[in-house]
Amino acid sequence: MTPLQALQKYFGYSEFRHEQEAIIQQVLNGRDVMALMPTGGGKSLCYQLPAVLLNGLTIVISPLIALMKDQVDSLNVAGIPAAFINSAQSPDEQRVIVQKLRDNQIRLLYLAPERLFGSENKLVDFLKSLPVVQIAIDEAHCISHWGHDFRPEYLMLAGLKVHFPKIPVIALTATADKLTQKDILEKLNLHQPAVYVASFNRANITYRVMPKNKSFNQLLAFLQDRKDDSGIIYCLSRKSTEALAADLRDEGFSASAYHAGLDTALKAKNQEAFLRDEVKIMVATIAFGMGINKSNVRYVVHIDLPKNIEGYYQETGRAGRDGLPSDAMLYYSPGDAVKLKSFVALENNEEQSRIMLEKLNDMVSYSELHTCRRKFLLNYFDEPAGDHCGSCDICLSEFKKFDGTLVAQKALSAVTRLGQRFGSTYVVDFLRGSKSEKIREEHKQLKTYGIGADVSKVQWQRYLREIIAFGYLQVTDDAYPVIKLTAKSEAVLKGLQKVELTEAQIIEEQVTETPYF
């Protein structure tokens, strides 16, 4: 049977998506693979199809015991013998599966990493006696501290290549940032892996950010004409998920809560109700969603600022898996960023804090963008994108543009006068003619000092970001990033290039406490 025939026979699909076919071919050839695809991209098929074609056992490592049953059930329905072993099973149930494995009656075996390597490697030693043909590692970013969902038990997977040196390993994830990628490859010891990165663009999702102000009212307005739709609302704290779900129910909405602190039975019940469309709105912490395959989620709302772009993108990606138009809405308050920053410093060592703060700053930049949000997101994952996607709030142009050539010229002159050796804070203070002692005396003598005093600090920061996004200035990658000119700067300085900027929309810091933080 060819891969295409198997696709049609077992999965009922007529053609492969994205890089699926190439990935499958590599696995069939015995090569290690790392596949990065967005949520809903079709990762499972990349190991399920080889499992059908290869004569032997595929081990699937998955972090979520709760979801194994669903996956195994649907494989069995499709006529592909599959099973899982987990701690929820009785010894008798496990014995039945072990016997089937011995009799070569199972094609895919789902396990959590701690099960594989627990009890002094008892299971791994047993599996080595079987004809294992493929090892798939789902949610492979869980092995990395830099992923947004680090799970220490994933580190045990470093032992896989020791126990199964000849068996192709396929690592799959929807997290694509470079640092995490590198970490996955290193920690798993993949041998000359073929790396596939599918496009991360989710064209059917419209991205929006709104200044957060009385978030409950904003939410009610958002939900007004979405009463019959399924959606997920992400909150930062466990407590606020329950409070918000209750408040929404009071307003007549069908809402349920989900967070890691709920007892297992209740979590399963709430999740099930949402999957079956019995409950429309899931108010959850980020504990909810990984691996959940619900195609008709019409919107994902972030009522609090996510900690990083990776998490945000993954969470928004749970909307619109069926390809129909869907919304991602983020309510942004700079105060959220300040709170998150203080958590980061408390919870991590110095190096981790530094990286997490950088990631948080990227999230802030995204929230304050005046250029296409999709472009920012795709570029963040090193994917090229056009300047205007036509389906984010910026491109749908809820912001007014103005001729910002003079503003840009002022910024560029300041950077030039300062010898291209200072970061944005210094440049802005200099432009505004700050009396601060931090501004060197010699700089206070320069003619450009204070030429931008009419623009507020926050506005200047936004203009700078926009000017940088257009490539008229750049920021270095150093530990202390400085702003420099680019090849495109000269034309602006000489007045040959017009610069269109976005009128700064000032996001008012909230004075009153929001109920849902």
Residues of this chain that bind ligand ADP (CB under 6 A): 13, 16-17, 20, 37, 39-45, 293
**Looking at beta carbons only, is 44 or 409 nearer to ligand ADP?**
44
Nearest residue to 493 (alpha-carbon basis) of 402, 403, 401, 410: 410
Which of residues 30 and 386 has its CB atom nearest to Zn ion in the complex? 386
Contact 193, 30 (CB under 8 A): no
Q: Which of 202, 298, 321, 374 binds Zn ion (CB under 5 A)?
A: 374
Binding partner selected for residue 395 from ligand ADP, Zn ion, none, CB under the kind-specific 5 to 8 Å limit: Zn ion
Q: How far apart are CA 431 and CA 438, in angstroms?
A: 13
SS3 state at 120:
helix
- Distance of closest approach, residue 140 Cβ to ligand ADP, in angstroms: 12
User: Given the complex with ligand ADP, which of 16 and 154 has the nearer CB atom?
Assistant: 16
Q: Does 328 bind Zn ion (CB under 5 A)?
A: no
Distance, CA of 250 to CA of 26 (rounded, Å):
53
CB of 40 to ligand ADP, least distance (A): 5
198 or 236: whose CB is closer to ligand ADP? 198
DSSP class of residue 348 equals S
CA distances from 320 to 40, 202, 205, 317, 462 (A): 9, 9, 7, 7, 31
Nearer to Zn ion, 127 or 392 (CB): 392
Q: Parallel, antiparallel, or unpaired for β 483-485 and 473-475? A: antiparallel
Interface with Zn ion, residue 205, by CB under 5 A? no
User: Is residue 385 part of the contact set for Zn ion (CB under 5 A)?
Assistant: no
Q: Bridge partners of 232?
A: 282, 300
Strands 132-137 and 473-475: unpaired
Position of minimal CB gap to ligand ADP: 42
Closest CB to Zn ion among residues 209, 389: 389
Q: Which does 37 bind (CB under 5 to 8 A by kind): ligand ADP, Zn ion, none?
A: ligand ADP
234: β partners: 284, 302
369 interacts with Zn ion by CB under 5 A? no
User: Could you tell which of ligand ADP, Zn ion, none binds residue 41, using a CB distance below 5 to 8 A set by kind?
Assistant: ligand ADP
Contact 24, 49 (CB under 8 A): yes
State yes or no: residue 395 binds Zn ion (CB under 5 A).
yes
By CB under 5 A, is residue 469 in contact with Zn ion? Answer: no
From the list Zn ion, ligand ADP, none, which binds 372 (C-beta under 5 to 8 Å, kind-based)? Zn ion
Longest dimension (CA), the chain: 85
Whichever of 111 and 172 has its CB closer to ligand ADP, that residue is 172
At closest approach, how far in Å is the CB of 255 from ligand ADP? 25
- Name residues whose C-beta falls within 8 Å of residue 332's C-beta, 6 or more positions apart in sequence: 209, 210, 211, 212, 305, 367, 368, 507
Q: How many residues bind Zn ion (CB under 5 A)?
A: 5
List of residues contacting Zn ion (CB under 5 A): 372, 374, 389, 392, 395
